[in-house]
Amino acid sequence: MVYNEIMENKYLIYRILIVFVVVTFVTNMAFVALQKNVVSQEKLKAQYTVNSTISRVEIKLESYIEKVGFLKKTIEAGIDLDDAYFESVASRLYGDDPAVKTIELAPNGIIQNVYPFKENQKAIGMDMLTEHERKEAATLAKDTRKYTMEGPYDLKQGGKGAILYDPIYVNGEFWGFSILVIDWDAFLTEIHLNELEKASYDFVIWKKDRVTKEKIIISKSSENIGSDTLLVKCALPNNNWNFEIIPKNGWINKYEMMSLVVASIMIDFLVTAAIAQLEIRHKKDLEYATQIEMEAKKAQEASAAKSRFLFSMSHDIRTPMNAIMGYTELMEKNVGNIEKEKDYLSKIRYSSTFLLDLINSILEMAHIE
């Protein structure tokens, strides 16, 4: 009998260990699912933030196109733009936009008119179709007949700037370009890249070199940016920019991660302890029921009424026990659902109390007898 008791205890320990492994697996799966959901939500927020920046780039680009487009339409209409007329038109187009550095006309690709002239006269005579850094974008704009923005360059007149080429065709023949030189630092300010940093994001904006296909950094917030970035593409005419963004603290805050891990471990132990307690109580109940049955068999003088009473009590004991086991199984299937866990625990507690009252009633009656 001692041997059987030892074996039963071993089986009980094995069952509890199996329960712990199962509960740990379930909570870990729930933890991974929750982690993925948090990352997904954070990436949606990041994408929305990047798209807002891209929208500002597109809006700013449209305002630049309107400026060079006016010169283009003037020439396509056959109006002769002499130096005085060009300066008059360009001065009005120049406006008060801090990002507009220079307005230029380049018949056959060679710059002949610039505004303002004094600060940018070094650009006069530059052939955009043959100049080393600029010819690829200029030729592409000419061949595709689409405006093309390229840069940043080191400008002949000093500083860094991007160049917007708008090809002009008159009677189907290439006339040249209307060109807008954009101050690079002012442009980055105008599209509010600092909003990304204010929102606690690190970012890098890059494109591929048209010839070497190497990665060219347009702008970045930090030298050390994580590898798990979100990539969002910004399509420009004859060009593509790539925005890579990541929260400064990662997609999941390390403190939140630690809290989730601790919560997962606590759930593992609490659920296993609850189930182990139920197993032990169930074992004791079975042992006690067996003892009662043996004593009942020895008590031959017990009346038929007493036998019916014991049968009825046995049935009543199984009812709350079944409820306890049933809700325990439901808890295992709904680990991580706090509301359901509370509901099941409440019902298990109620059934356990009811079961205990039944057992106490039986004991009290047996003691009286």
Q: What is the pLDDT of residues 161-189, one digit of tens each?
A: 888 999 999 988 999 999 999 888 888 88
pLDDT value at residue 361: 76
Distances (CA, A) of 179 to 107, 109, 185, 234: 11, 10, 18, 22
User: What is the pLDDT, as a whole number, of residue 166?
Assistant: 92
Predicted local confidence at residue 168, as pLDDT:
92
Asked whether the predicted pLDDT for residue 74 surpasses 70, the reply is: yes
DSSP state of 181: E
Q: Full-prediction pTM beyond 0.85?
A: no
pLDDT of residue 268: 73
Distance CA 183, CA 194 (A): 17
Phi, psi of 201 (to 5 degrees): -115, 145
**pLDDT confidence of residue 122:** 84
Residue with tokens 């101050």: 183
Q: Average pLDDT over the chain, rounded to whole?
A: 81
| Structural domains of the chain in order of their starting residue, each with its CATH number | 58-188 (3.30.450.20), 253-368 (1.10.287.130)
Counting runs of H as helices and runs of E as strands, what totals does the chain give?
9, 9
CA-to-CA distance for 126 and 137, rounded, in angstroms?
Answer: 15
Confidence of residue 306 (pLDDT cuts 50, 70, 90): low
Residue 201, judged by CB atoms within 10 A of its CB (0-12, 13-18, 19+), counts as buried
d(CA 115, CA 107): 15
Residues of the chain with pLDDT > 90, as a percent, come to 11
What lies within 8 Å, CB to CB, of 5 at 6+ separation is none
Compute CA 238 distance to the chain's CA centroid, rounded to the nearest angstrom: 30
Least confident of 30-34, 82-86, 88-92, 194-198: 30-34
